């Protein structure tokens, strides 16, 4: 009975119903218009949509349960480690950098717009480095390993990626004067939208979002980001507003004549969790071990994925050049 109770509690917690029930017991309906009220209402939407996506996919046989293997095991592992480390790093950064910020802004609607633009810049920096520095790619590659797109992919992360991301994002935002309350509100919005842009292409075929996609990062943009097509590699690093992708020329819309191929360029075992989780780390360790000289060993760690001391580079830039595609 205790085991069944634990399973029941986990299900309730996964869907966010525990927070919702507690809110209903202790708050008035008018409180749903507050930040906490909106948060508890929005939180169950993603897991419910995930279950609907999975159910529809199984009924129409558009994919198999194996497509959820990497995200599932990543979620189980990270649920006990990653999220607490990530929160801890955010709190540490706030405590360390807040006194050092040259100025502080108030939590008003106009400063919130400023704060979100700063957050997107910080997210762009973290995400860009995750693709351009091989050590950081080892932390990020698990998220790109699945060879199909569905909502569960938002759970596929190496446990150290969250802390690495939040150190960069929180540090930049706090130094830019954002109050902690605004930062956490933005993180909630960013996390919610960042999950939904992974919606499966079998559920939403055309996810360009019409005219909204001109300034918002749509699921179609993020599908491009997850592609291993040379045309699409290392593009669309933003999360909600694609402003910084346009500024730094990394913006790439989905093309009708280039079908997205999901996954990473390294040959790996399909839907194999351990390979997706540790494969890039093992590959980097082998390259560092076999590299001649200390400088080459360091270069393998900090140069982009695909760099080689032999000059036979397989970086995204080199592959685009070889294919005659201008790098964004």
pLDDT single digits (tens) 100-155: 999 999 999 999 999 999 999 999 999 999 999 999 999 999 999 999 998 889 98
Label residue 148 exposed, middle or buried (CB < 10 Å: 0-12, 13-18, 19+): buried
How far apart CA 320 and CA 308 sit, in angstroms, is 16
Tell me the pLDDT band of 64, cut-offs 50, 70 and 90: low
The answer to whether 284 touches 138, Cβ cutoff 8 Å, is yes
Beta bridge partners of 273: none
The answer to whether 111 touches 181, Cβ cutoff 8 Å, is no
Q: How confident is the model at residue 6, as a pLDDT?
A: 56
Q: How many CB atoms lie within 10 A of CB 256?
A: 6
The answer to whether 90 touches 82, Cβ cutoff 8 Å, is no
> How distant, in Å, are the alpha carbons of 5, 150, 172, 306 from that of 11?
10, 20, 36, 41
Q: How confident is the model at residue 58, as a pLDDT?
A: 65
Tell me the pLDDT band of 323, cut-offs 50, 70 and 90: confident
Q: What is the mean pLDDT of the chain?
A: 88
How far apart CA 44 and CA 324 sit, in angstroms, is 46
Tell me the pLDDT band of 222, cut-offs 50, 70 and 90: very high
Q: How many CB atoms lie within 10 A of CB 69?
A: 18
* CA atoms within 13 A of residue 104's CA, in its CB half-sphere: 12
Q: How confident is the model at residue 202, as a pLDDT?
A: 78
Tell me the pLDDT band of 45, cut-offs 50, 70 and 90: confident
Higher pLDDT, 21 or 294: 294
Label residue 117 exposed, middle or buried (CB < 10 Å: 0-12, 13-18, 19+): middle
Tell me the pLDDT band of 217, cut-offs 50, 70 and 90: very high
Q: 2-16, 189-203, 207-221: which has the minimum mean pLDDT?
A: 2-16
Tell me the pLDDT band of 79, cut-offs 50, 70 and 90: low
Q: How confident is the model at residue 8, as a pLDDT?
A: 59
SS3 96: helix
Q: Does residue 245 have a pLDDT over 60? A: yes
Higher pLDDT, 44 or 146: 146
pTM of this structure: 0.87
Q: What is the CA radius of gyration of the chain?
A: 21
Q: 55-59, 97-101, 191-195: which has the minimum mean pLDDT?
A: 55-59
Q: How confident is the model at residue 47, as a pLDDT?
A: 73
Angle (deg, nearest 10), helices 2-15 and 17-26: 80
How far apart CA 231 and CA 255 sit, in angstroms, is 10
Q: 71-80, 122-131, 235-244, 266-275: which has the minimum mean pLDDT?
A: 71-80
Tell me the pLDDT band of 258, cut-offs 50, 70 and 90: very high
Q: How confident is the model at residue 26, as a pLDDT?
A: 74
Q: 152-156, 201-205, 238-242, 272-276: which has the minimum mean pLDDT?
A: 201-205
């Amino acid at each position: 009975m205790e085991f069944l109770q634990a399973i029941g509690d986990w299900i309730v917690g996964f869907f966010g119903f525990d927070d919702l029930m507690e809110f209903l017991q202790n708050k008035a309906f008018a409180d749903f218009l507050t930040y906490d009220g909106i948060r508890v209402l929005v939180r169950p939407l993603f897991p419910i949509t995930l279950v609907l996506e999975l159910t529809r996919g199984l009924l129409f046989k558009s994919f198999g349960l194996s497509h959820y293997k990497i995200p599932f095991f990543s979620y189980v592992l990270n649920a006990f480690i990653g999220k607490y480390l990530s929160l801890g790093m955010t709190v540490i950064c706030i405590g360390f950098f807040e006194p050092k910020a040259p100025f502080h802004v108030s939590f008003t609607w106009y400063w919130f717009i400023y704060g979100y633009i700063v957050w997107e810049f910080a997210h762009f920096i973290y995400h860009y480095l995750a693709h351009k520095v091989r050590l950081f790619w080892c932390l990020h590659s698990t998220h790109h390993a699945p060879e199909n797109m569905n909502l569960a992919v938002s759970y596929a992360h190496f446990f150290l990626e969250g802390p690495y991301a939040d150190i960069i994002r929180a540090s930049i935002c706090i130094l830019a004067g954002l109050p902690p309350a605004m930062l956490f509100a933005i993180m909630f919005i960013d996390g919610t939208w960042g999950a939904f842009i992974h919606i499966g292409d079998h559920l939403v075929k055309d996810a360009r979002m019409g005219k909204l996609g001109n300034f918002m990062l749509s699921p179609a943009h993020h599908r491009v980001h997850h592609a291993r097509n040379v045309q699409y590699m290392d593009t669309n690093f933003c999360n909600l507003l694609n402003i910084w992708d346009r500024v730094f020329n990394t913006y790439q819309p989905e093309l009708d004549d280039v079908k997205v191929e999901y996954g990473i360029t390294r040959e790996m075992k399909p839907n194999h969790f351990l390979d997706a989780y540790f494969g890039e780390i093992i590959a980097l360790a082998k390259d560092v071990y076999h590299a001649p000289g200390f400088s080459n060993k360091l270069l393998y760690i900090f140069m982009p994925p695909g760099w080689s001391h032999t000059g036979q580079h397989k970086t995204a830039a080199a592959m685009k050049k070889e294919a005659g595609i201008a790098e964004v």
